[in-house]
Amino acid sequence: MSTNIFLHLPTTISTERTILRKTSFADATTLFDIWSDNDVAQFMNIEKFSTILQAEEMIQAIENEPNACRYTIFTMDNSLKAIGSLGINDINKNNQTIEIGYELAKSHWRQGLMFEILTTFLNTTKAHLPYKTITAKVLPENIASIKLLTKLGFELISTGQELDLHSGKICEISNYQLILN
């Protein structure tokens, strides 16, 4: 974690149905269950995980990256098992932009959870960090995520190509942004 900018973010964020807690190694086992699910991993631009060590390495890499932070998502009724994660993938201090990323366990898809979670997370980010624009990268075939971002007020600003670590191929990527007031 960054020694300055992320100290302004709370370690725990609550929504109506979930608790977001800054990700730690204790979350590796339950995040592995999500990150090793092919249906989830295909939209994350990661290789599908096959060992818990990969989840631990991912968490370590995020902790070592000064421009990134991650929260693990737990339900209010069962805070022992993660149902996903979200966070800041990158910060561009020059143009005051934050890139976010998120994923949810397949068992929790289409319940409105990520809209609730991202609404709260974006409001928290806006209140604690001095950035004006939030961006997100989405594969064009991830229709649910595109609908979610659009509902949150994000707009498509460009498309490009990127190496997809899941498939190992160059793929189209859609770039969305939300300008904060």
pLDDT in tens, 130-170: 888 999 999 898 999 999 999 999 999 999 887 665 566 77
pLDDT digits (tens, 9 = 90+) for 1-27: 334 577 788 999 999 999 999 999 999
* Parallel, antiparallel or unpaired: strands 155-164 and 133-138: unpaired
Tell me the whole-structure pTM to 2 decimals: 0.89
Q: Does domain 12-134 have CATH number 3.40.630.30?
A: yes
Strand partners, 53: none
Q: Which residues in 87-110 are b (16+ Cβ under 10 Å) and which e?
A: bbbebeeeeebbbbbbbbbeebee
Q: Is the distance from CB of 70 to CB of 87 less than 8 angstroms?
A: yes
Q: How far apart, in whole angstroms, are the C-alpha atoms of residue 83 and residue 113?
A: 10
Cβ within 8 Å of residue 75, ≥6 positions away: 17, 18, 19, 81, 83, 108
DSSP summary character for residue 47: P
Q: How far apart, in whole angstroms, are the C-alpha atoms of residue 91 and residue 96?
A: 7
The phi, psi pair for 103, rounded to 5°, reads -155, 155
